[in-house]
Amino acid sequence: MKKTTGTSAGAVTQPLRQNSGSIWKRVSPYLPLLGIGFIIGLLWLVSLRFFLVQSKETHYHANFAVYIDGVREEFKDVTYYEEVAACSAEYGNDPKGRVHMHDEVSDVIHVHDKRVTYADLFHNVFWTVGDEVLETRNGVYQSNDMKKLIFMLNGQEVDRIDTRVIADTDQLLISYGDNGTDLTSQYKSVSDSAVEVNKHQDPATCSGLNGPSQKSFFSRLKRALAE
């Protein structure tokens, strides 16, 4: 009777264990270096995003003035102005959250959507503006043989402004009056404060979307990690 020969399970697994142990011994001294390299790479990536990733929210300003028969509109009614809450992200799809005025400052427009037009602004304050007609809460003013509705945007007379997108630091004059109206003086009265408002936004006003709080260290770090 022939004896069968074979290899026991222990004889097979023992070399494998020895090989595994040998590989581990060779690799283990480098594991701390690999860990340090991973951490350095992660910190480098976060640092890069910290400096490069900016807030995606839109928030800039423009200036305007409206004259009717030589008298400047002061927008005294508080209903012309929006609360600070209109600047928060949850109002992003609200028409009044996209463009508005604040704090009874009647010559500064707050823009939170790069697509909004001057028609959007005036619609929010219950006015209507066309190429030859201006409708306010107090009356309708239409161009005729005696009086004209004139628009001056950034120093240039334009045919209409309702379809124009509100650009950063725009200066707009809307003037309705007779041919003797001093447009030069009226346009000079249009504030240029939007430039400074862009630089030094009041933390209590419109800071929710792109104000100083969005430029803080922790806000920027949060964007670097999340976006």
Using a cut of 0.75, tell me whether the model's pTM lies above it. no
What span, in angstroms and rounded, lies between the C-alpha atoms of 156 and 195? 19
The pLDDT, as a whole number, for residue 155 is 96
What span, in angstroms and rounded, lies between the C-alpha atoms of 112 and 84? 13
Best mean pLDDT range from 1-5, 110-114, 198-202: 110-114
Helix-strand-coil split of the chain, %, nearest 5: 40, 20, 35
Domain ranges of the chain: 9-52, 60-213
> What single-letter DSSP state applies at residue 163?
T
The pLDDT, as a whole number, for residue 200 is 76
Q: Which residue reads 């028409």 in tokens?
A: 95
Of the chain, the percentage scoring pLDDT greater than 90 comes to 52
- Amino acid 43 reads L
Give me the chain's average pLDDT, please. 80
Kindly compute the dihedral angle of the four CA atoms of residues 51, 198, 81, 87, in this order, to the nearest 10 degrees: 0
- Written as six digits, the tokens of 202 are 């009041």
Q: Which residues pair with 147 in a beta bridge?
A: 178
The pLDDT, as a whole number, for residue 39 is 84
Exposure string of 3-14, with b = 16+ CB inside 10 Å and e = fewer, is: eeeeeeeeeeee
Rounded to whole angstroms, what are the CA distances from 215 to 89, 169, 218?
16, 20, 8
Higher pLDDT, 10 or 59: 59
Which of 99-108, 130-139, 163-172, 216-225 has the least mean pLDDT? 216-225
Q: How confident is the model at residue 17 (pLDDT cuts 50, 70, 90)?
A: low
- Mean pLDDT of the region 152-181: 97
The pLDDT, as a whole number, for residue 223 is 45
Of the chain, the percentage scoring pLDDT greater than 70 comes to 67
pLDDT per residue over 175-202, tens digit each? Answer: 999 988 999 999 999 999 999 999 875 5
> What single-letter DSSP state applies at residue 203?
T
The pLDDT, as a whole number, for residue 49 is 59
- Written as six digits, the tokens of 145 are 């043989």
Higher pLDDT, 151 or 10: 151
Higher pLDDT, 59 or 25: 59
What span, in angstroms and rounded, lies between the C-alpha atoms of 71 and 62? 21
What span, in angstroms and rounded, lies between the C-alpha atoms of 170 and 30? 60
